Amino acid sequence: MKSSNEGIDLNMKKVMRQYFRMIHKPTEVVDELVKEDVNILETLIVTIISGIILIAGVFIAGGILYTTFQNNALTYPLEILTSGQLFGFYVSYYDYGLVFLTDLIFILKAWIFLAILLYGFLRIFKQRISLKRTLQIVSWSLFPFAIIMLLVSVVCLGLKYVIPLIYHYIYFGVMTGIFIIVTPILVMKFLERLNNVSYFNSMRAYYLSLFVVFLIFAFNHADKFLYQIW
């Protein structure tokens, strides 16, 4: 039993080292991960850690950034259809402990949803990849940058007193930039090391997945988009 626990601790230390190295040595970490079989438990742990860091940043910044994040998360169709909202149960923004837990569960669902979308498009384009590997790619490509978002949250905490009405746009702008620019670079680092995976089709699959997520968000917030246009 003791040796088993030591093995688990060693794996956790390895995961944490890889997690923080992903920021400054992503290529090395990707090479290590691709050479090994997918450990779905480690992938889940990475997602949970990243979710906690991301949510902590939102709570630190507070104000309109906090309420906007909660509004976007709690009103997303995926969340509505997979939560107690179907039965009339709603979480108050001021019930912070429950909100934190709800946000973390939402992030886990978003991770699975995005991975399934990416996997589906990859299969449509006849790319040979497993769903487990896709879950790993999405988790390691996207969520370690929650650390960056935590730093952005600290910056926004100061900006809240300088530009209180628009500081949250900086936060969501950086988050969007990570989705559109940074994450696909890491996704391709993973995919280019796998056999029988096309660069062009992989990029199409990733951006089509983001496009579907955006369409759902835009449809759900159509009134806000129309207000911005007019």
Rounded to two decimals, the pTM is 0.86
Question: Phi, psi (5° rounding) for residue 25?
Answer: -135, 60
Residue 128 has pLDDT above 80, yes or no: yes
15 found inside a domain: no
Cβ neighbours around 29 below 10 Å, total: 21
53 found inside a domain: yes
Closest to 115 in 3D by CA, of 54, 53, 57, 47: 47
Q: Quick check: 190 and 94 in contact, CB under 8 A?
A: no
DSSP at 163: S
24 found inside a domain: no
- Quick one: what percent of the chain has pLDDT higher than 70? 88
- Dump pLDDT digits (tens) for 13-69: 888 888 888 888 888 889 989 888 898 999 999 999 999 999 999 999 999 999 999
Mean pLDDT of the chain: 85
The torsion region of residue 43 among left (phi > 0), alpha (psi -120 to 50) and beta comes to alpha
Confidence grade of residue 6 (pLDDT, cut at 50, 70, 90):
very low
11 found inside a domain: no
175 found inside a domain: yes
32 found inside a domain: no
Say what the pLDDT of residue 207 is. 94
- Dump pLDDT digits (tens) for 192-218: 887 667 888 889 999 999 999 888 877
Higher pLDDT, 13 or 103: 103
Cβ burial 164-183 (10 Å sphere, 16+ → b, else e): eeebbeebbebbeebbeebb
122 found inside a domain: yes
Residue type, 178: I
Query: Number of structural domains, the chain?
Result: 1
123 found inside a domain: yes
Q: Which domain covers residue 174, as residue numbers? A: 39-229
Q: Residue holding tokens 């910056």?
A: 155
